[in-house]
Structure 1
Amino acid sequence: MFYLGIDIGKRTHAASVMNEEGKVLLKGFSFRNSMDGAFSLTKQLESFSSESSDFLVGMEATGHYWLALFSFLDEQDYFVHVINPIQTDGWRKGTEIRKRKNDIIDSVLIADLIRYGSFNDTSLADETMFSLRQLTRYRSYLVGTAGDFKRKIIAILDQVFPEYETVFSRVGIFGKASKAVLSEFSSPDEFNQVSSEALAETLKQASRNRVGLIKAEALKAAASKSFGIRFSQEAFTFQLRSMIDQLSFLEEQIKQTENEIDQLMNSLHSVIETIPGIGKITGATILSEIVDIHRFSNPKKLVAYAGIDASVTQSGQYAATHNVMSKRGSPYLRKALFQAALIASKHDPTLKAFYDKKRMEGKHHLTVIGAVARKLCYIIHAILTKNEPYESRQ
């Protein structure tokens, strides 16, 4: 058996091969992160053996740069272990007396780590789970970007037309009717110049007749006495229209992404959606971040992976009396669990009773939600391990 360690880089990778006795047979072979570079690696490996089954391969999960090489080696039937960089750092500290680090040394260390087998794989999802992770993280990015645009739109309205939110609330500003009128009339002067009837028609079309003349007259009344700024108004209105258009585009992208997630979730038939507070989007996030529930031998490990376990501070005789959440692990999983906990603490009888009990003990709302999220980890671990629907127990 040969052990191949690969240090991953953005443009080039470094590979080292070690035999079962720990002798380095190939040290720091550099190859480009390209198809030609990957084939140059396999050509080097063929000088040791023409059988891919004679190799165990290890590489670090460094950013996203390892994915293409992993895909290539997997197609060539090499067995690849993907290792968390934290584990290789720990191995380096345990084996290196001098503190040294470079691509060649790291590739040798990875090969040695694979040879000893004292590591845990970074679990790789199947294609459905991998797709879900990509889509849920992309949706999270889109939602965050849309939130940024909303804050900037409100900031501009506060300067140009501060009275606008007396007609449309902060939430209503981003409804279809409001966005439609702001795309056409972006300053008090423009609202003053249009008739109530024309403005009402724009509102009716955008809201399917739910909003009309009354709202139009309220907008014109607010515009007639607006205390918004007058200078550089064209620059502000241009920004406002542009951001409204971009927000609408982002919201359409979010909708399309959610449709893709729905289709994948429908194909899984997962029991995770039987838990109150966990719908398709939250469920997809939790499943895709966990990947495989069987890599967590007990619920405590899932809690730790989500980063909602308590950190412990102790030194000598000192031990902290107030421990905070560790926040290590997947931030996407942690956020999804908190969102689910907020809803479950209201709608699931068992979790609501637990929430109420902790609140009566004087615990802060967010502290209790964190405790509910930890309980959810135990529930998720149980139902996914057994593949049985959740049943609330009083």
Structure 2
Amino acid sequence: MFFGGIDIAKHKHEVCIIDAEGNSVLSINIHNRKKGVDKLLSNFERLGITTDNCKFCLEATGHYWLSLYYHLTELGYEVHVINPIQSHAIRNFYIRKTKTDLKDAFILADMVRFGRLPQSELASETVMKLQTLSRHRFDLVRSVGDLKNKVLAILDRVFPEYPECFSGVFINSSKKLLQEFSSPEELADVDLSELTEFLKKHSRGRFGSDKAQQVKDLAKGTFGINLAADAYALELRLLMEQIEFVEDQINTIEEAIDQVMEEMRPSEDTEYRHVLETVPGIGPTLAAAIIGEVGDIHRFKNAKALVAFAGIDASVYASGEFEGSKNKMSKRGSPVLRHSLWMAAVSARRFNPELKEFYEKKKQEGKHSNVATGAVARKLVHMIFSLWKNNRPYQSNYKWSPDNNS
């Protein structure tokens, strides 16, 4: 029997094959290309290594492991994937604290030989779609946030009174106004009737002459600076166009996510596409993100394991008789999953009566809002685990006990 360890890198992977006694029989590096796999297979043929007598272990380094994992499993090899945190912990058991790619590959191979690795399976195509789309949406939403902060920074300099004009700087009528009139001077000089018609059109009649007059008056008496006005006006207009463009892309992604979620609908007669959508506080977009990051719920032993996977468990620091009293969220695992669960908790503490009561209870205990929300997120994960594992829609009168979460 042979055991293989593969240290993953961007361009080249280090491969180490050992026999049942732990002796190295092959140590090579291969390119992260098809020719690299061909090189590996030719060596396997020379050594008599087949799908029946060799198992592999590789470290999930970034996304670089995915192609090699896919091709090896397609060929029929048993391949285990471990988290870098796990491999780092196991590496510390070795007496000599050496760190080389070849040594790491040998350690991974040795781990397979010991036979204490979890079974690894590539996510289904539907889950991979949701993961890819949700992660890209997450990045775009963050980029929109950055762009909006830049817009607000410009307004603070050139037109600090502008936010007084609307309930939000980035509502539709305000966004269109800043694209068309990107400086207080332009707003001060525009004809009142023209500005009135512009606001009526883009606010669907909500705003009229009163709002137009307010904007003009504030623009004329602004406390903002007049230095480099043309440069600021150009930057503001381009930023608003970028925001609109990226938001259109987010809408496109959300439409694609909606189509993928339809693939998960149990039947045409089912009201929901996935049980997560039945939980108050979890809409289709958040449900898709959670499904994409979690994948198969059955790979988690209990709800606590899912909480730890999401990185919303409390990190504990204790030494001797000392035990820290201000433990923080561990924040390990997928940031997309953690963000989605947090946003779901924020929504649930308002719209889910059960979790709203739980949140208020934590607040009455003197907990900070963020701490209380973190507690809601953890309780929400217990709900998610039970509903998803049992494929049962949410019921407000259901008793969430430890027995339901294992």
Instruction: Report the CA distance between 1:255 and its aligned residue.
Output: 0.8
Task: Kindly report the root-mean-square deviation, in angstroms, between the aligned alpha carbons of the 2 structures.
Answer: 1.9
Q: Which residue of 1 aligns with 2:239?
A: 243
1:67 aligns with 2:71: no
Partner of residue 223 from structure 2, selected from 211, 217, 227 = 227
- Provide the rounded CA distance (Å) in 1 between the counterparts of 2:293 and 2:335: 9
1:100 aligns with 2:104: no
Q: Counterpart of 1:254 in structure 2: which amino acid?
A: I
Asked if structure 2 preserves the Cα contact closer than 8 Å seen for 1:56 and 1:114, the reply is yes
Partner of residue 359 from structure 1, selected from 351, 363, 374 = 363
Asked if structure 1 preserves the Cα contact closer than 8 Å seen for 2:345 and 2:373, the reply is yes
Asked if structure 2 preserves the Cα contact closer than 8 Å seen for 1:10 and 1:65, the reply is yes
Instruction: Report the CA distance between 1:379 and its aligned residue.
Output: 1.0
Q: Which residue of 1 aligns with 2:267?
A: none
Asked if structure 2 preserves the Cα contact closer than 8 Å seen for 1:123 and 1:292, the reply is no
- Provide the rounded CA distance (Å) in 2 between the counterparts of 1:165 and 1:9: 49
- Provide the rounded CA distance (Å) in 1 between the counterparts of 2:201 and 2:119: 55
> Which runs of structure 2 are paired with 1:79-228 in the superposition (5 Å)?
79-94=78-93, 96-120=94-118, 124-169=122-167, 171=168, 173-228=169-224
Asked if structure 1 preserves the Cα contact closer than 8 Å seen for 2:44 and 2:50, the reply is no
- Spell out, residue by residue over 1:309-344, the C-alpha distance to the aligned partner (whole angstroms, 9 max, x if none): 222222112222343332223332222222222222
Q: Counterpart of 1:139 in structure 2: which amino acid?
A: R
**Cα 1:230/1:346, change in 2 over 3 Å:** closer
Q: Counterpart of 2:90 in structure 1: which amino acid?
A: W
- Provide the rounded CA distance (Å) in 1 between the counterparts of 2:190 and 2:353: 54
Asked if structure 1 preserves the Cα contact closer than 8 Å seen for 2:2 and 2:49, the reply is no
* Runs of 4+ with >4 A deviation: none
**Cα 1:199/1:53, change in 2 over 3 Å:** farther
Instruction: Report the CA distance between 1:249 and its aligned residue.
Output: 0.6
- Spell out, residue by residue over 1:200-221, the C-alpha distance to the aligned partner (whole angstroms, 9 max, x if none): 2332333333333332222222
Instruction: Out of 330-339 and 7-16, give the one that drifted further.
Output: 330-339
- Provide the rounded CA distance (Å) in 2 between the counterparts of 1:163 and 1:54: 73
Structure 1: which 5+ runs fail to align?
Answer: none
Asked if structure 2 preserves the Cα contact closer than 8 Å seen for 1:308 and 1:325, the reply is yes
Partner of residue 254 from structure 1, selected from 246, 250, 254 = 250
Instruction: Out of 353-362 and 303-312, give the one that drifted further.
Output: 353-362
Instruction: Report the CA distance between 1:76 and its aligned residue.
Output: 2.5
Instruction: Report the CA distance between 1:279 and its aligned residue.
Output: 0.8
Asked if structure 1 preserves the Cα contact closer than 8 Å seen for 2:79 and 2:120, the reply is no
> Which runs of structure 2 are paired with 1:211-360 in the superposition (5 Å)?
211-268=207-264, 269-360=273-364
Instruction: Report the CA distance between 1:364 and its aligned residue.
Output: 2.8
Instruction: Report the CA distance between 1:50 and its aligned residue.
Output: 6.5
Asked if structure 1 preserves the Cα contact closer than 8 Å seen for 2:15 and 2:105, the reply is yes
Instruction: Out of 187-196 and 48-57, give the one that drifted further.
Output: 48-57
Instruction: Report the CA distance between 1:89 and its aligned residue.
Output: 2.1
- Provide the rounded CA distance (Å) in 2 between the counterparts of 1:365 and 1:155: 27
- Provide the rounded CA distance (Å) in 1 between the counterparts of 2:286 and 2:121: 20
- Spell out, residue by residue over 1:273-304, the C-alpha distance to the aligned partner (whole angstroms, 9 max, x if none): 11110111111122222111112111111122
**Cα 1:176/1:352, change in 2 over 3 Å:** closer
- Provide the rounded CA distance (Å) in 1 between the counterparts of 2:104 and 2:328: 34
Structure 2: which 5+ runs fail to align?
Answer: 265-272, 399-406
- Provide the rounded CA distance (Å) in 2 between the counterparts of 1:189 and 1:358: 50
- Provide the rounded CA distance (Å) in 2 between the counterparts of 1:167 and 1:209: 16
**Cα 1:183/1:352, change in 2 over 3 Å:** closer
Q: Which residue of 1 aligns with 2:372?
A: 368
- Provide the rounded CA distance (Å) in 2 between the counterparts of 1:227 and 1:356: 42
Instruction: Out of 328-337 and 375-384, give the one that drifted further.
Output: 328-337
SS of the residue 2:57 aligns to: strand
Q: Which residue of 1 aligns with 2:404?
A: none
TM-score (norm 1): 0.93
SS of the residue 1:52 aligns to: coil
SS of the residue 1:324 aligns to: coil
Asked if structure 2 preserves the Cα contact closer than 8 Å seen for 1:6 and 1:107, the reply is yes
Instruction: Report the CA distance between 1:122 and its aligned residue.
Output: 6.0
Asked if structure 2 preserves the Cα contact closer than 8 Å seen for 1:179 and 1:244, the reply is yes
1:8 aligns with 2:8: yes
Give the aligned length: 390
Q: Counterpart of 1:389 in structure 2: which amino acid?
A: P
